[in-house]
Amino acid sequence: MEFFKDGGRGQASLFNVIKAYSIHDKEVGYCQGSAFIVGLLLMQMPEEEAFAVLVRLMENYRLRELYKPAMTDLGLCMFQLECLVQEQMPDLHSHFNNMGFDTSMYASSWFLTLFTTSLPIEIANRIMDCFLVEGMEFIFRVAMSILQQARVELLRLDMEGMLKYFQRDIRERFENDADLLFAVANKVHLNARRMRKLEKDYLAKRTREQEEAVELRSPCIPMNNPCVALFGANPVRNLADPCDEIDHLFIELTLFEYASMDY
């Protein structure tokens, strides 16, 4: 995107905002997914306002919990989404399982970036508007809408085909069907009591796994962390630490990725 390319007026602003937030919130630091949300904000407002909105999104819209180093809330979202797919599209859920296609392999970026890396910018802007009204529930609605409309195609694909579909084809698939995407999303039924029950089940499951892991603790990276497959083994960085030069390079990588995106 021209706005964020080298020398573009958005590049310095993007760096400033994500750097400022990493200093403001040392526990969260920097998560690569947040940069795409900041980029979306910077297309609508100056960097000072983008920073203020980012702080509010983090604190009031559950994003801060998603970006915490343990990624517990992201794991919860993946668990809830998988259960919703199992209940509402059992054939697709079975297909994913048979292919070893974990929910985090396609949906982590949806929640971490609010679809800014998966759908055209015009659709991402509309999703952000709805997110500000409905919160994380709307991200679940859009996720289910995508899967419902792509279900027949996905059932015909193998692992490689599904990866390609979610990484590339999904943008073209919905570029001209934005209204249908939102119409289906608005019809998705999410039972609040059921979602709370799933949260309780997930937390109990996570507690059991942590207790079992105490005696088996090792230095290996926990590959069940849903962010590992998406952003690597160290997706969260604290930009207020002494290794500022390394941090700068880490942000530059995100700037390059954003600049390379074709909207």
The sign one gets for the Cα dihedral 51, 56, 61, 63 is positive
- How many domains is the chain partitioned into structurally? 1
Give Cα 233 distance to the centre of its chain.
16
Residue 234 confidence (pLDDT): 47
Do the domain assignments include residue 185?
A: yes
Give pLDDT, residue 241.
45
**78-87, 129-138, 171-180: least confidently modelled range:** 171-180
92 or 69, which is more confident? 92
Distance CA 93, CA 101 (A): 9
- Greater confidence (247 vs 242) lies with 247
| Residue 178 near residue 171 (C-beta atoms within 8 A) | no
234 found inside a domain: no
**What are the tens digits of pLDDT across the range 132-165?**
999 999 999 999 999 999 999 999 999 999 999 9
For helices 47-60 and 9-24, give the axis angle rounded to 10 degrees.
40
Pair 149, 184: CB distance under 8 Å: yes
In a domain, 105, yes or no: yes
Q: Is pLDDT of 227 > 90?
A: no
| In-domain check, residue 238 | no
The CATH number linked to 63 is: 1.10.472.80
Q: Which domain holds residue 182?
A: 9-204+246-260
75 to 35, 69, 168, 233: CA distances (angstroms): 20, 12, 24, 15
Per-residue pLDDT at 240: 46
Tokens of 253: 């990588």
- C-beta of residue 126 within 8 angstroms of C-beta of residue 138: no
Q: With a cut of 90, say whether residue 19 has pLDDT above it.
A: yes
In a domain, 22, yes or no: yes
**DSSP characters over 56-125:** HHHHHSSHHHHHSTT-HHHHHHHHHHHHHHHHH-HHHHHHHHHHT--HHHHHHHHHHHTTTTTS-HHHHH
The answer as to whether 226 is a domain residue is no
Grade residue 31 by pLDDT with cuts at 50, 70 and 90.
confident
Asked whether the whole model's pTM tops 0.85, one would answer: no
Residue 28 inside a domain? The answer is yes
Residue 56 domain flag: yes
